[in-house]
Amino acid sequence: MQRLAKRRVAITGAASGIGRATAIELARQGSRVAILDIDGDACASVAEEIARFGGTCLAQVTDIADPEAVERVVAAVAQEFGGIDVLFNNAGIMPEGTALTTDLATWQRVMDVNLTAMYLLARAVLPHMGEGGGSIINTASVQALLGHPNRLAYVTSKHGVVGLTRGLAADHAAAKIRVNAICPGTIDTPMLHRELEKVPTGEREALLQSYRELHPLGVIGQPEDVAHAVVFLASDESRFITGAVLAIDGGYTSLIGHA
């Protein structure tokens, strides 16, 4: 049984990692999916994969940090689908740096992509959610719940995502629009592999093992682990959940002094 038959979904950062896995799973569950990403070739690849199993997908190459581009793409998706029921705000970037090593341009770009874009997408999508309400899911991070060295802009932006989520949830509950955040731990995505590439090849397995050991379950998560949670939050099964912040982290944030 398809849990999300006829749902109309927009996903940012949908060309790889968590976004890709979620787009595919939502389509398998019967949703019509619009994938929004700045990488056109990867967008096309996801759309082709969804089409192969008979799913419906609309690929849109978009810079979500551009307010005018956001308005255009949301209007196009809403026109194509006749509205939008679910928004998965997933795109994000994670440069390193402290207050002393993060320049203002980098700081602003992180805020634009990780936080302001979520506000822009929500603002654009909300008018297209009908009387039956809708669901907005925002990707935060375990770093929205804890500090982390040398990632000041990222940590700050993800804490902001939690605040944005709770504020939107409070503002739009009367319209039956639910807004929740997910906080993934270490997930096997291209972002993780870019981190691994920063260390010598011979040290990468040891680094991976250190990541596994941060999670009480002893494993690194897969994108599908997050996708299943998003499907739940997009579905009517979560109809009494709004303003929630869900850790999907193998127990990472459940322990004191585990880092």
Q: Annotated catalytic sites, by residue? A: 154
Give the separation between CA 142 and CA 155, rounded to whole angstroms. Answer: 9
93 CB contacts (<8 Å, ≥6 apart)? 109, 110, 113, 114, 154
**Beta-bridge mates of residue 88:** 11, 137
Give the separation between CA 73 and CA 210, rounded to whole angstroms. Answer: 41
- Where do we find the tokens 């096309």? 44
**Per-residue burial over 17-53, b = 16 or more CB atoms within 10 Å of its CB, e = otherwise:** bbbbbbbbbbbbbebbbbbbbbeeebbebbbeebeee
Q: DSSP code of 56?
A: E
Give the separation between CA 91 and CA 16, rounded to whole angstroms. Answer: 10
Give the separation between CA 12 and CA 77, rounded to whole angstroms. Answer: 12
